[in-house]
Amino acid sequence: MDLFGRFKKVLLQDSTTLSLPDSLAKYFPGNISRGVQKAVARIQCIIELTSMHFMHFSLSGFTNNDQSASSLVDAYLQKDDLIIRDLGYFVLSSLQRIADKQAYFLSRLRYNVKIYDRHGACLPLRSLLRRHRPVDQWVWLGKKQQLPVRLLIIPLPDAQAAERKRKARKDRDRRLNHSKTYYQWLGYAVFVTNVAQEVWTARQVTEAYKIRWQMEIIFKSWKSGFNLQCILQEQYRNVHRIVTAIFLMLLFICLFMQKIYLYYKKIVGKKKSRIVSLYKLSKYASANLLVFFDMNRNQLVEQIARHCCYENRPDRTNMTDLINFLKLT
């Protein structure tokens, strides 16, 4: 199965946050806790997955949310590219610009967005959910935009649906007052894309969206592997020093991914038929940095194959399979 062969580039856009000393709150405004505004930096990034090349980094405060950053991808998308983003980036005008470039998108659908049929008649969400079976049809989103998208409504396993509903009932913000339809909504994974049925089946849409978790693995490698948060110690109160430290670390991570991760992923894959985990390799490198200077290539291949590879999971499609679909080199 070649999920991504139709596209020139496969881009992911996502963000992660770093806690900073409270004295920097005016530069990086974050949440307010017990009457004190915290300092939290948000790193926005866009990565091209087939080459593991970061196309964009930007640094802002936590209060600059993902929706406000949805337009950042416009400068990097070209015809026949694919962008995959999570719900935080859902903005109809942004999706329209992607479509106008003759590029493709895959996103979760935001609740309460107006849905219309080809004749302009509003499709009540409740009627779509009431079918209790998968939905895969072309619809138009937004009263003004009328953006044509392929809507997919996929029932979730009972346990997963029940957990989502449980969390919604315990939501601390009682003002939300979730409706009965919203609780129905939580029983489904709802996607929108402009990739046609001839390219992706409904099942392939859900498989393709899983690759977004590669971004979570990348962020985990930053924070838990290379301990990015730990370099931002409380005594570092100079904003220029903090910004410089963050970008120098990101530069190191980019070099590591290009010169170490991809290099040994290719060699270990060829010699050992195994796939190197970015997170495991980053954690290993952080704890054993001198090994990369003391050992020759063959010794390193053995060590990486032993300590830094994914386990084979024949019972389900996992990140190993998804990376194979990308044909990373």
- Residue of 172 and 67 predicted with greater confidence: 67
Residues 141 and 174 in one domain: yes
The per-residue pLDDT for 36 is 84
The answer as to whether 183 is a domain residue is yes
Domain boundary among 211, 235, 265: 211
The answer as to whether 55 is a domain residue is no
Looking at the predicted structure, is the pLDDT value of residue 177 above 90?
no
Residues 200 and 290 in one domain: no
- pLDDT-derived band at 276, boundaries 50, 70, 90: very high
The answer as to whether 96 is a domain residue is no
Residues 142 and 170 in one domain: yes
- pLDDT-derived band at 287, boundaries 50, 70, 90: very high
- Look-up: residue for tokens 């980053």? 282
Q: What percent of the chain has pLDDT over 90?
A: 64
- How many angstroms separate the CA atoms of 264 and 274, rounded? 11
- pLDDT-derived band at 102, boundaries 50, 70, 90: very high
The answer as to whether 120 is a domain residue is yes
The per-residue pLDDT for 33 is 80
The answer as to whether 29 is a domain residue is no
The answer as to whether 221 is a domain residue is no
Looking at the predicted structure, is the pLDDT value of residue 315 above 80?
no
Q: Which residues contact 181 (CB under 8 A, 6 or more apart)?
A: 125, 126, 129
Domain boundary among 211, 235, 257: 211
The per-residue pLDDT for 105 is 98
Residues 248 and 278 in one domain: yes
Rounded to the nearest integer, the mean pLDDT of the chain is: 89
Looking at the predicted structure, is the pLDDT value of residue 176 above 90?
no
Give the number of other CB atoms < 10 A from CB of residue 239: 16
Residues 203 and 275 in one domain: no
The per-residue pLDDT for 329 is 44
Residues 182 and 269 in one domain: no
pLDDT tens track for 104-126? 999 999 998 999 999 889 998 88
31-35-36-40 Cα dihedral, nearest 10 degrees: 0
- How many angstroms separate the CA atoms of 7 and 14, rounded? 20
Structurally, the chain folds into a number of domains equal to 2
Residues 108 and 205 in one domain: yes
Q: Which residues contact 288 (CB under 8 A, 6 or more apart)?
A: none
134-95-141-85 Cα dihedral, nearest 10 degrees: 30
Residues 248 and 277 in one domain: yes
CB 283 within 8 A of CB 251: no
Looking at the predicted structure, is the pLDDT value of residue 320 above 60?
no
- For residue 309, give the DSSP letter: B
The answer as to whether 40 is a domain residue is no
The stretches of the chain forming alpha helices (DSSP H) are: 92-100, 125-129, 158-169, 180-185, 202-210, 213-220, 239-256, 262-272, 278-287, 291-294, 297-307, 319-326
Please compute the mean of the pLDDT values over residues 274-291 and round it to a whole number.
Answer: 92
pLDDT tens track for 71-82? 999 999 999 999
- pLDDT-derived band at 235, boundaries 50, 70, 90: low
The answer as to whether 25 is a domain residue is no
Tell me if residue 132 falls in helix, strand or coil.
Answer: coil
pLDDT tens track for 124-140? 888 888 767 889 999 99
- How many angstroms separate the CA atoms of 213 and 224, rounded? 16
Beta-sheet pairing, 29-33 with 188-193? unpaired
The per-residue pLDDT for 133 is 80
Residues 185 and 234 in one domain: no
3-state secondary structure 40-91: EEEEEEEEECCCCEEEEEEEEECCCCCHHHHHHHHHCCCCCCEEEECHHHCC
Choose from 297-301, 312-316, 319-323 the range with maximum mean pLDDT.
Answer: 297-301
- pLDDT-derived band at 322, boundaries 50, 70, 90: low
- pLDDT-derived band at 327, boundaries 50, 70, 90: low
Residue range of the domain that includes 143: 103-211
- Look-up: residue for tokens 């170490």? 260
pLDDT tens track for 4-27? 989 999 999 999 999 998 889 999
Residues 188 and 243 in one domain: no
Looking at the predicted structure, is the pLDDT value of residue 298 above 80?
yes
